[in-house]
Amino acid sequence: MGLSLLFPLGLAALASLLLPLLIHLARRQESRLTEFAALRWLRAQPKPRQRIRIDEWPLLLVRLLLLALIALLMAGLAWREHDARQPRVLVSPGIDAAAQRALRLPAEARVQWLAPGFPAIDTPAPAASQPVASLLREFDATMPASAALTVIVPATWGAVDAQRPVLSRAVDWQVLPGSSPMAAKMPVAMPTLVAVGLAASAPELRTLRALHAAWQPQAGALATVEAPGERTLPPGTLAVWGGHGAVPAMWLDWVRQGGELLLVSADAWPAAVRSQAEWRDDGGEILLASAAFGRGRLWQWSQGLDPARVPRLLDARFPAELAQHLRPASPPLRTVAADFAPLQQPVHWPTPPPALLPGLALLIALLFALERWLATSPRSGAPA
């Protein structure tokens, strides 16, 4: 550890130290002429030589110290580590235990876990899944530019984001056997169905009741509503419009505000909305399509919900298959580490403010208060 300057040119402000010296010397030569009648006719004698003498040494020293500290503040005095060139080694959790024991790392390298806070390698390995790609970018941005970086990762690495990391330096990327720990997957919340625009005798209601019982077995009977404001529809509700013709404007407004509406008749789909296929059968025919609509989403089941005409609806696997497309699971967050080596792109990361600045500013404020007290308080020998 040691002191360093972020902006050495700021030391040019030390030239201002001459100002207090000149001011004190000028004040020393100040005098007031007083004439005496008995002496005015005497011939003037040469003044005796005097050595340069400065009064008020405490005030002068305080002013010089104050200006010196201001110059250091401008120069960016910082507390720097001497190991700026010390190699860094990041080890991602999940490496096979045998491979980890066989690691041969340089004795002078600083070895840390690729985990929040970047703890030392001698601490227990983090067990939970971590956003390792983001952590890698963070570590690259905070480490010294002259330090070499080695990253040791398991063969199956995660959790990663959608693109390869881009770092400011070349990385020694080492892949060892193992797999990154992953958090337990959260179960996908099944939709809560409500029927809209269907008569009590409609055959589609039998299918909707079966789906509702499969998805929400504890929710009671399937609800039938006519208008969005008729009852409170909780988040995750999937309203199923079974009528023919255009969907009422009140339901389209409900979708725009974040709702989801499933249409089961082809003539109910708004003509101005373009859909995309979400589920196709083995022959390539579209079974389920969708489109974003405001903050919500419109769905369309193209084959209708009458089990007498659509045998697929009687398959015991149909509720799970439909739910899988309505509520798709999150994409995998792990990848093959060998194909995810970071790219290099020179980046100038902004230097964080040095830790000494707050304390230095406080010391300057205290010295300024002391200087004002010494300059204004009555002192013996002070010029009138």
CATH number, domain with residue 259 = 3.40.50.880
Residue 82 lies in a domain: no
**Tokens 């010029």, residue located:** 383
The CA radius of gyration of the chain, in Å to the nearest whole number, is: 39
Same domain, 155 and 122: yes
Residue 9: count of CB within 10 angstroms of its CB: 10
Average pLDDT over residues 283-306: 89
Percentage, residues of the chain above pLDDT 70 = 78
Same domain, 286 and 371: no
Residue 47 lies in a domain: no
Indicate the helix (H) or strand (E) that contains 291. Answer: strand 286-293
Look at the chain and report how many structural domains it folds into.
3
What pLDDT was estimated at residue 184? 57
Same domain, 206 and 301: yes
pLDDT, tens digit (0-9, with 9 covering 90-100), for 75-88: 767 655 555 678 89
What pLDDT was estimated at residue 298? 93
What pLDDT was estimated at residue 383? 46
Same domain, 272 and 364: no
Residue 314 lies in a domain: yes
pLDDT at 357 over 80: no
Same domain, 64 and 125: no
Residue 43 lies in a domain: no
Same domain, 202 and 318: yes
Same domain, 300 and 318: yes
Average pLDDT over residues 276-291: 88
What pLDDT was estimated at residue 173? 92
Please provide residue 340's backbone torsions phi and psi, each rounded to the nearest 5 degrees.
-120, 25
What pLDDT was estimated at residue 384? 39
Residues of the domain holding 255: 192-326
Same domain, 275 and 238: yes
Residue 266: count of CB within 10 angstroms of its CB: 12
Residue 220 lies in a domain: yes
Same domain, 180 and 196: no
Residue 81 lies in a domain: no
pLDDT, tens digit (0-9, with 9 covering 90-100), for 339-351: 888 888 876 655 5
Same domain, 92 and 133: yes
Q: Which among 24-28, 33-37, 183-187, 306-310 has the top mean pLDDT? A: 306-310
Greater confidence (157 vs 47) lies with: 157
pLDDT, tens digit (0-9, with 9 covering 90-100), for 228-261: 776 778 788 898 888 777 888 898 999 999 999 9
What pLDDT was estimated at residue 43? 64
Average pLDDT over residues 342-361: 68
pLDDT confidence band for 312 (50 / 70 / 90): confident
Q: Are 207 and 240 in contact (CB under 8 A)?
A: no
Same domain, 151 and 97: yes
pLDDT at 121 over 70: yes
* Beta-sheet strands, E only, within 33-100: 77-80, 88-91
Q: Are 84 and 142 in contact (CB under 8 A)?
A: no
3-state SS assignment for residue 125: coil
Greater confidence (40 vs 75) lies with: 75
3-state SS assignment for residue 150: strand
Same domain, 201 and 152: no
Q: What is the pTM of this model?
A: 0.45
Mean pLDDT, rounded, of the chain = 79
Greater confidence (25 vs 278) lies with: 278
What pLDDT was estimated at residue 380? 46
pLDDT, tens digit (0-9, with 9 covering 90-100), for 208-235: 999 999 888 887 888 888 877 767 787 8
What pLDDT was estimated at residue 378? 74
What pLDDT was estimated at residue 381? 47
Residue 221 lies in a domain: yes
Q: Are 81 and 146 in contact (CB under 8 A)?
A: no
Residue 38 lies in a domain: no
